[in-house]
């Protein structure tokens, strides 16, 4: 029943006529491997050779088509001088110039006294029209009067060759069975995939982004990406595991020990996680929440539940500093009979060995660390729960690998503070169930945000003095470590020197080049309030929790994206005091930059900010998205095509709820998602 005609489109480009080794190598360098890949290079403009001009009407500098009669050959016997053919029509004279062409060839293609159609760029030399190496010459004018698309060509491939290749493909497009439902198709004026592809390459449709054929192709692409994710999710859900049984008392005790109440969103997220842990199918869940929304505590409470059910837990953080922070919090909150350890790259070998053995013998209940905790030599006796903090850089496929790694009994929770626009949720996280914490803890005051020109630094220093007097602490963020001649960002090193003179013994410096051990020491001292100012690069961006710091100053703020600024700002305002964020700029702001800053000033909601950020800068620049794979859309644009993203989401939900068969999407999935992940699926 299944239709296999799509296979032609997946075949190697070297099977095409006119694509030799050289062309195929050039294209493959640009990641164009299959015929299908070639379809998405769109024409930018076109050359119309269909109109035949008279010589007297020629325009210099333009590609034009003329019918001429060759009268005389001029073949100079001197090296480097071109061969020349004098030609005429009823209205004037023109010379055809040939570099690097043999006499015999020229005599053949331009026989004297016979009418020939040529096409090429017209120039003039000493008052005479001429055309150098015309691109088309034929006695059959129909072969010349073409319309050639101009593609942004791969170097080394000629326009004529490229057009021949594309036209060959368009002529041989297989007729694919329609994969969409009738109602969906109606929205695109019932245009078939084939029709749409042909229109896509029709020069009269260049940049016709609003047309139905174009939208249909965009929709195909979005839908395919959503469907793959949805299938991965279903597949993971089908994995059977031993349900985790725990008593409500464990959770109640730890919640009772907290010096705050959980927010409603935190409670809901915890319930959703607990339900998954209890269930007989594997959890694969994302805990999404803005910076400071309190994800850590949710993950720790659920960890304790898992531990009490007899399983081990592993929590992986992107940096050692964060791993240690989580470890310390757990140490403070967990009952003393739980055995938890921090696996640090700096630990002594004996210490490491002890932890490795403890995990193998099931003596250790929970381990904290960076990706090192998933090294091969680490064997868990009974791993039941993996938590991964702040890993927005993981793509769908990496997550799938990770989820496989723990084995069937292992539930997986990812935590991310990267809020993403709604249109993107399904393509970025469609493979997971999602719990969202929107609500911030109630005691939070909004961070007040100001912008300042760098030459107003004296005002900033005055403000800092006042804050220090009141016992507050300050983050001072600079984009680079050392002064670079090319990039004139403020370096943290210089700023440290400058501030240290103003505030002797009160300033600490932290950057990526400082050894981990030293970093920890510095952060600990800052935490103990031995310093008032921490000058730092953006390494403080992720996850660090210092409730006493309530001012953050960000230099060269225009070098950061909005979402990133929001993340940085999220480092403060975690305590009860009013927090302040000062964005410093080198020079007056452009209109666009002002708009961006105003968004930040007016909103403390990461989701809202990311939507706006995307509208202003395009989604590719959103924090962390470069790695997430979303950028791989060929036509779809989350801003322009919001409606199609929502339509696809609706359709996927329908398929999931009604448990519809997806066989009819086989060709779509094979074409648009060529990864192995679907091989055993359809
Ligand atoms: P994030 O979601 O960014 O990882 P954290 O888990 O680091 O946030 O929490 C930020 C701070 O908020 C921590 O100091 C934490 O103790 C505190 N916190 C968490 N939940 C609450 C709550 N419900 N009420 C008050 N403070 C809370
Ligand atoms: Mg966090």
CA of 252 to the centre of ligand 1 (A): 18
264 in ligand 1 pocket by Cβ < 6 Å? no
542 in ligand 1 pocket by Cβ < 6 Å? no
Gap between the Cα atoms of 666 and 678, Å rounded: 9
Identify which of 270, 294, 330, 541 to mutate to test ligand 1's pocket (most ligand atoms within 8 A of the CB): 294
- Asked whether residue 117 carries a pLDDT value surpassing 90, the answer given is yes
Instruction: Report strand pairing: 63-74 vs 83-89.
Output: antiparallel
- Asked whether residue 420 carries a pLDDT value surpassing 80, the answer given is no
- Nearest residue (by CA) to ligand 1, atom 22, is 441
From residue 553, alpha-carbon distances to 334, 559, 568 in Å are 35, 14, 10
Segment 229-237 mean pLDDT: 86
CB 368, CB 326: distance < 8 Å: yes
CB 217, CB 659: distance < 8 Å: no
Which atom of ligand 1 has the smallest separation from the CA of 289? Answer: 2
> Can you say whether residue 126 is alpha, beta or left, with left for phi > 0 and alpha for psi between -120 and 50 degrees?
left
- Nearest residue (by CA) to ligand 1, atom 10, is 292
Residue 542 CA: which ligand is closest? 2
**Size of the chain, expressed as the number of residues it contains:** 682
Gap between the Cα atoms of 296 and 287, Å rounded: 10
Segment 655-676 mean pLDDT: 85
Q: Nearest-CA neighbor of 228 among 520, 632, 621?
A: 632
Give residue 366's pLDDT: 97
Which atom of ligand 1 has the smallest separation from the CA of 293? Answer: 2
Question: Where is pLDDT greater, at 506 or 144?
Answer: 506
Q: Nearest-CA neighbor of 608 among 568, 566, 554?
A: 566
pLDDT range class, residue 558, cuts 50, 70, 90: confident
Give residue 392's pLDDT: 60
Segment 607-624 mean pLDDT: 70
Give residue 674's pLDDT: 59
- Asked whether residue 623 carries a pLDDT value surpassing 50, the answer given is no
Segment 638-648 mean pLDDT: 90
CA of 480 to the centre of ligand 1 (A): 29
CA of 329 to the centre of ligand 2 (A): 12
Give residue 627's pLDDT: 45
What is the sign of the dihedral through the CA atoms of 619, 624, 626 and 632? negative
Sheet with 411-416: strands ordered across: 340-343, 366-369, 312-316, 383-389, 411-416, 284-289, 433-437
291 in ligand 1 pocket by Cβ < 6 Å? yes
pLDDT tens-digit profile of 486-524? 555 557 888 899 999 999 999 999 877 777 778 878 888
CA of 390 to the centre of ligand 2 (A): 7
322 in ligand 1 pocket by Cβ < 6 Å? no
Identify which of 262, 263, 270, 292 to mutate to test ligand 1's pocket (most ligand atoms within 8 A of the CB): 292
567 in ligand 1 pocket by Cβ < 6 Å? no
Tell me the average pLDDT of the chain.
86
CB 478, CB 535: distance < 8 Å: yes
CB 385, CB 302: distance < 8 Å: yes
Crossing angle of the two packed helices 320-333 and 516-527, in degrees rounded to 10: 50
- Asked whether residue 620 carries a pLDDT value surpassing 60, the answer given is no
Which residues are paired to 283 by β-bridges? none
Gap between the Cα atoms of 17 and 148, Å rounded: 18
CA of 285 to the centre of ligand 2 (A): 16
List phi, psi (to 5°) of 510: -135, 125
pLDDT range class, residue 296, cuts 50, 70, 90: very high
Q: Nearest-CA neighbor of 385 among 401, 405, 360, 400?
A: 405
260 in ligand 1 pocket by Cβ < 6 Å? yes
CA of 324 to the centre of ligand 2 (A): 12
CA of 545 to the centre of ligand 1 (A): 8
Give residue 547's pLDDT: 81
293 in ligand 1 pocket by Cβ < 6 Å? yes
């Amino acid at each position: 029943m299944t239709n296999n005609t799509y296979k032609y489109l997946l075949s190697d480009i070297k099977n095409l006529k006119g694509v030799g080794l050289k062309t195929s190598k050039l294209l493959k360098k640009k990641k164009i491997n299959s015929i299908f890949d070639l379809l998405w290079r769109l024409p930018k403009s076109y050359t119309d050779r269909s109109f035949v001009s008279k010589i007297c009407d020629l325009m210099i500098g333009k590609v034009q088509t003329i019918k001429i009669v060759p009268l005389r050959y001029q073949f100079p016997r001197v090296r480097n001088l071109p061969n020349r053919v004098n030609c005429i029509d009823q209205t004037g004279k023109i010379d055809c110039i040939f570099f690097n062409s043999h006499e015999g060839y020229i005599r053949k293609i331009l026989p004297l006294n016979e009418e020939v159609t040529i096409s090429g760029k017209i120039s003039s030399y000493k008052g005479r029209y001429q055309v150098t190496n015309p691109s088309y010459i034929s006695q059959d004018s129909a072969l010349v009067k073409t319309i050639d698309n101009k593609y942004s060509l791969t170097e080394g491939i000629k326009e004529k060759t490229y057009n021949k290749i594309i036209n060959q493909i368009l002529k041989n497009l297989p007729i694919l069975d329609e994969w969409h439902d009738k109602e969906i198709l109606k929205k695109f004026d019932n245009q078939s995939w084939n029709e749409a592809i042909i229109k896509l390459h029709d020069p009269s449709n260049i940049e016709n982004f609003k047309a139905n054929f174009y939208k249909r192709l965009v929709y195909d692409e979005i839908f395919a990406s959503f469907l793959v994710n949805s299938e991965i999710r279903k597949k993971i859900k089908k994995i059977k595991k031993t349900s985790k049984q725990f008593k409500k008392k464990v959770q109640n005790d730890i919640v009772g020990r907290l010096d705050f109440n959980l927010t409603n969103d935190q409670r809901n997220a915890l319930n959703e996680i607990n339900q998954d842990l209890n269930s007989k199918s594997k959890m694969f869940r994302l805990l999404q929440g803005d910076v400071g929304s309190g994800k850590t505590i949710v993950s720790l409470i659920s960890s304790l539940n898992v531990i009490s059910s007899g399983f081990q837990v592993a929590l992986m953080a992107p940096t050692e500093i964060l791993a240690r922070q989580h470890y310390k919090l757990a140490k403070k909150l967990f009952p003393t009979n739980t055995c938890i350890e921090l696996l640090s790259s700096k630990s002594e070998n004996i210490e490491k060995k002890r932890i490795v053995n403890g995990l193998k013998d099931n003596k250790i209940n929970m381990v904290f660390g960076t990706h090192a905790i998933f090294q091969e030599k680490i064997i868990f006796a009974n791993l039941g729960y993996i938590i991964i903090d702040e890993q927005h850089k993981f793509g769908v496929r990496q997550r799938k690998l990770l989820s496989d790694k723990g084995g069937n009994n292992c539930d997986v929770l990812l935590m991310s503070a990267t809020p993403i626009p709604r249109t993107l949720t399904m393509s970025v996280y469609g493979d997971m169930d999602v719990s969202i914490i929107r609500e911030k803890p109630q005691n939070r005051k909004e961070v007040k945000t100001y912008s300042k020109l760098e030459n107003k630094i004296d005002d900033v220093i005055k403000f800092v003095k006042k804050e220090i007097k009141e016992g507050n602490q300050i983050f001072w963020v600079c984009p680079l470590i050392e002064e670079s001649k090319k990039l004139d960002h403020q370096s943290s090193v210089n700023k440290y020197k400058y501030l240290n003179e103003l505030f002797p013994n009160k300033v600490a410096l932290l950057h990526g080049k400082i050894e981990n051990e030293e970093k920890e020491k510095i952060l600990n001292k800052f935490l103990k309030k031995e310093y008032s100012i921490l000058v730092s690069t953006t390494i403080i961006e992720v996850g660090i929790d210092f409730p006493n710091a309530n001012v953050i100053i960000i230099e060269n703020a225009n070098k950061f994206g909005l979402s990133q600024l929001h993340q940085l700002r999220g480092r403060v305002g975690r305590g009860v005091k009013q927090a302040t964020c000062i964005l410093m700029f080198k020079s007056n702001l452009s209109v666009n930059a002002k708009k961006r800053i105003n968004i930040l000033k007016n909103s403390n909601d990461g989701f809202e900010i990311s939507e706006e950020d995307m509208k202003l800068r395009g989604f590719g620049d959103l924090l962390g998205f470069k790695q997430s794979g979303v950028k791989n859309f060929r036509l779809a644009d989350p801003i322009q095509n919001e409606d199609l993203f929502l339509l696809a989401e609706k359709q996927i939900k329908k398929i999931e709820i009604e448990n519809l068969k997806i066989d009819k999407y086989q060709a779509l999935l094979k074409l648009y998602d060529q990864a192995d992940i679907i091989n055993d699926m359809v």
